[in-house]
Amino acid sequence: MAKGQHQANRELTEVLNQIWRLDTNRLRPGTDYIISLQGRAGYVAQGSNSARDMARAPLFTYVNEAKLKSIKTFAHFISLLDNYEASTGLSETVTSEELKENRLFIDSIMETDVMKCAHKYLVGKGQSPSDPAQFQKQLYDIWFRLYHRDRSGGEDSCGFEHVFVGETKFGCEVLGLHNWVQFYLQEKHNHVDYKGYKARDNKSTPDEDDHVLNLQFSWKGLVKPVAGSFIGVSPEFEVALFTIIFLMSSEKMTSVVVKVDEYMLELVVYRNGRSIGTSYPKLLSSNNRDL
């Protein structure tokens, strides 16, 4: 690895761990929520809609919804989850109420130490304006600006919808949906069927207190072969982390391997012009367990 690249990854690791430590809104496994990992999911080809169900019960056994909804950033985040048309190719219509909800969400995350830390880092790197209002506009463009995902339709997608809410393509494929709160709420309403965790072999199994998992599930009757997701973390943590990676690279696809807390992760970000196309974590190992 080139010296400059090594230095960049070391800096990135430092700031991401700082953001992790500042994430006081993160929920605690075994206390604020309980998950049941059950069996290891098998191989499913992309586009296939049959998967052996290795998990008879839901992933989430319990979530303290009262606590979840009492935290401002989570409450504003949840209000955004019903604002989108799931199918690509169908233009999104954004109402004035939805625009207001988007801005309230950005306002709320900007009040957190997590986003203040991310902003300070990005200003220091010359990637973001120092004026908080201008930084909020930058965040809005990265996460909420509509663009074409399916070229046959109108402006049918945005980074927030893809990453946090999920989309379907041609009624045969699940796109995105890398957020644990959306997964839990969809599972609660019987829209998601958890099929099991993903790991490289039978010897390596994640723990039920892990904050990052690779999952297999079906949503709206369509199978997602594998999706990396943080579990329990706040929305501001994910927005901060992926915004930093997005802005620190101009590549169409950026993949960085970092150790955040006890987790060795591959963090992947695809860009769509000035906006995020997709972003997600892949759990590589945890506490020296190779997954």
pLDDT (tens place) for every residue of the chain, 291 residues total? 344 455 558 889 999 999 999 999 999 999 999 999 999 998 887 666 778 899 999 999 999 999 999 999 999 999 999 866 555 445 556 778 888 999 999 999 999 999 999 999 999 999 999 999 999 999 999 999 988 665 656 666 789 988 999 887 767 788 889 999 999 999 999 999 999 999 876 656 889 999 999 999 999 888 999 999 999 999 999 999 999 999 999 999 999 999 999 999 999 999 999 999 999 999 988 875 665
Distance CA 64, CA 130 (A): 37
Q: Which residues are paired to 222 by β-bridges?
A: 219
**Helical residues (DSSP H) of the chain, grouped into ranges:** 3-22, 65-70, 72-80, 96-110, 113-124, 132-143, 159-160, 180-188, 235-247
Distances (CA, A) of 39 to 29, 96, 174: 19, 44, 22
Query: Which residues are catalytic, by number?
Result: 162, 178, 224
**CA angle 280-283-286, nearest 5°?**
145
At residue 159, the 3 state secondary structure works out as helix
What's the pTM?
0.92
Among the listed residues 90, 81, 96, the one whose alpha carbon sits nearest the alpha carbon of residue 161: 81
Distance CA 288, CA 255 (A): 21
pLDDT number for residue 3? 43
pLDDT number for residue 47? 65
Chain position carrying tokens 């219509």 = 93
